Structure 1
Amino acid sequence: MTQAPEPRKIHQLDARSLRGLAHPLRMRLLTSLRFDGPATASQLAARLGESSGATSYHLRQLAEYGFAEDDPERGKGRERWWRSVHQGTYLDDQLRTDPTPEVRGALNAYLHEAATHHAQELATWLGTEGDWSKEWIESSDMSDFTLQLTPAQNAELGRKLHELIESYRALAPDEGTPDAARVRIHLHAFPTKPGADT
């Protein structure tokens, strides 16, 4: 019987931590630590095509803002390993409507980097899907829909989609299950003006 997963640790962004995270390299570093696991600054530099000086500096910044920490179980001698403190990040609606110029600037940088990352992930899948099995190719999805909704209905739809997706965490197969893979799911729901979707 599959055991229910432990609750995920989610970091709720505030104005300070948003400003600390809203940098392209910091976001890429944090994503790598979350997806690929603990690493040293040198390993992350090689993964991301950056200098180890840059990754070291931005890892220290991530630690200062509460996103990354030392992984003492792995470090030996002068080798410093880093790990993510949380499994996810939550952007509060209050930050999305904050009129402060510093917060607006950080929010725009954060959201645009996240959207760029989503596009890169999708492009990577499209460029490599031939490396996957027929079953994975047929089970993948790249759809879009247009609905006429009120803000309340859009919020309800988002909540229901999140609940459905989260319910699959308890169904996750055990490590080493044949043909199981990590699956990325992107959700984007936003209004458009007439003529914008033609």
Structure 2
Amino acid sequence: MTEYRRITDLATLKAFGHPLRMRLYGALYMRGTATASHLAEELDDGTAVSLISYHLRKLAEHGLIEPAEPEGADGRERWWKPAQEALRIDSSDFRDTPEGSAAHTALSRVMYEQRRDHYLRFLDQRAGWSPDWQDAHDSSDFLARLTPAELKEMTAELHAVIDRYTQAGKAADPEGRETVAVHLYAFPLRNA
């Protein structure tokens, strides 16, 4: 598995930007490995296993996921895993054409909706988490007056901090650890 992959081609961007494929990729990323049947159970929305298999094959065609070693006794099922530890998608790679810009915007909207759903699910389930986890969670927003260069520098620093904690968490004892979603949006804002 490569460390990260930067998506720079429009065909892969469009393939990944399908809402169900993004959900499947996210679920697979969380699990590490899974079959279409496992993912159908996890989605729990009535999506047919055959449709999930189709979308997994589309993700594989673009190198976003790859076959994994079978983990179960049933050798007929295909196991899948992410082909990289992380994906990077920069708007600068797609803004030169109207189609690329539109596809990047559509993908960004789907990503936002899915992240929003994750946070709302946490809010609905918050009472089921321990007081320590309830107290540790954060929901903040800030307004800063920055230049584009300062925003890029700040973003790089925040990414470095998150990466440091991510790497430390991989090396540490798993006891007491949970997967934590960190959603970061930084963008210029004008009054409407």
Q: Look up the match of 1:174.
A: 173
Q: What's the offset of the Cα at 1:93? A: 4.1
Q: 2 CA distance for matches of 1:185 and 1:40? A: 26
Q: 2 CA distance for matches of 1:81 and 1:109? A: 29
Q: Look up the match of 1:4.
A: none
Give TM-score, length-normalised by structure 1.
0.87
Q: Look up the match of 1:3.
A: none
Q: Look up the match of 1:132.
A: 129
Q: 2 CA distance for matches of 1:182 and 1:51? A: 27
Structure 2 runs not aligned, ≥5 long: none
**Range with bigger deviation, 66-75 or 10-19:** 66-75
Q: Look up the match of 2:29.
A: 34
C-alpha contact 2:91 2:101 (8 A) present in aligned 1: no
Runs of 4+ in 1 over 6 A off after TM superposition: none
Cα shift readout 1:29-50 (whole Å, capped 9, x = no counterpart): 1111101221111221222121
Matches for 1:155-174 after TM superposition, within 5 Å: 155-172=152-169, 173-174=172-173
% of aligned pairs identical?
34
Cα shift readout 1:169-193 (whole Å, capped 9, x = no counterpart): 2432312x1x321111110001111
Q: 2 CA distance for matches of 1:117 and 1:8? A: 25
Q: Letter of the 2:3 partner, please give it.
A: K
C-alpha contact 2:4 2:84 (8 A) present in aligned 1: yes
Q: What's the offset of the Cα at 1:95? A: 2.1
Structure 1 runs not aligned, ≥5 long: 1-6
Q: 1 CA distance for matches of 2:2 and 2:141? A: 28
Matches for 1:116-127 after TM superposition, within 5 Å: 116-127=113-124
Q: What's the offset of the Cα at 1:134? A: 1.3
Q: What's the offset of the Cα at 1:87? A: 1.8
